[in-house]
Amino acid sequence: MGKSTLKDEIRLEGVGLHTGEGIELRILPRHRGEGIVFLRTDSPKKVEIPANPWEVTATSFATIIGNNGTRISTVEHLMAALFCMELSNAVVEVQGPEVPIMDGSSLDFAKAIKEVGLEETGLPERYMAIKRPFKVEEQDKYIIARPYPGLKVRYVIEFPHPLIGRQEKELDIDPDTFLNTISPARTFGFLKDVKDLRSKGLARGGSLKNAIVLDSNGVLNPDGLRFKDEFVRHKILDFLGDLALLGRPVKGEFEVKKSGHTLNQRFIRELLSHKEAWELL
């Protein structure tokens, strides 16, 4: 299969999780050039920002990409949907400083891609295949890549909260699995942290409509959880969104423990620099 793009454009609206601003998003077909490119339409510079690890400018509470002073935040949920729904070529226009958070998951993005459908661009696709084990670790956190004929993620999280504790999940990732079991998993946070985040200019658009919020005992969301292990599923979603910045399909098995955006990006950059660990097919 060659590179794919959308059969038609996608339009979505929502609020920014951290800014609280109303944001319009358009995902447009791209038949020329290769990969995913972001464009901030509210910026007079109209700077294109390629979706790759070298354009990542910050990883605090979100993955932020930028070019020549123009930045777009919170790209990971959208990137996970593009990557796992096998959309490899697109222009993403964002009228604002961050991708809208929607309901806190990737579900709206994944459903929109499936509804519009994909078509071939005529450009060849090359996979990154893991050739030998490769590990990056930091204290008790780590990411290990191993050879595998498909894409598999095994993730472990540990939080000192009665509703979370230790959760682990292992999945082979394909479009249907992502759409049904990973994309609906929402971002989550703790009520005790909200005041501090907002004092730093973060989470201003956060609400029970776009995040799971936990107090010391349980979930504040009236409808509860979508999955009993929604927390680890969302961490898989975030990891896939960061892995998507490799810019091509990946064949490998990834074992991840307690990682976040910062370690994810460090892993991706170090993996790219260790060319003995992978090959393009």
Q: Which residues are known catalytic residues?
A: 261
- The model's pLDDT over 153-181, given as tens digits with 9 standing for 90+, comes to 999 999 999 999 999 999 999 999 999 99
* Helix, strand, coil fractions of the chain, as percent rounded to 5: 25, 35, 40
In sequence order, the β-bridge partners of residue 172 are 152
Contact criterion met (CB below 8 Å) for 92 and 24 = no
pLDDT at residue 127, as a whole number:
95
Residue 120 has pLDDT above 80, yes or no: yes
- pTM of the predicted model as reported, rounded to 2 decimal places: 0.96
Return the CA Rg of the chain: 18
> How many residues in total does the chain contain?
281
- The model's pLDDT over 207-248, given as tens digits with 9 standing for 90+, comes to 999 999 999 989 999 999 999 999 999 999 999 999 999 999
Give the span between the Cα atoms of 223 and 220, in whole angstroms. 9
Give the span between the Cα atoms of 60 and 269, in whole angstroms. 17
- The model's pLDDT over 20-76, given as tens digits with 9 standing for 90+, comes to 999 999 999 999 888 999 999 998 878 899 999 999 999 988 999 999 999 999 999
Contact criterion met (CB below 8 Å) for 139 and 157 = no
Domain annotation for the chain: domains and CATH numbers: 4-120 (3.30.230.20), 128-280 (3.30.1700.10)
> Which of 159, 172, 145 has the alpha carbon at shortest distance from 229?
159
Residue 78 has pLDDT above 90, yes or no: yes
The single-letter DSSP state of residue 134 is: E
Give the span between the Cα atoms of 252 and 145, in whole angstroms. 6
List Cα–Cα distances, 127 to 6, 64, 242, in angstroms.
20, 25, 16
Tell me the Ramachandran region of residue 238: left when phi exceeds 0, alpha when psi lies from -120 to 50, beta otherwise. alpha
- The model's pLDDT over 137-147, given as tens digits with 9 standing for 90+, comes to 999 999 999 99
Contact criterion met (CB below 8 Å) for 169 and 154 = yes
Give the span between the Cα atoms of 148 and 109, in whole angstroms. 27
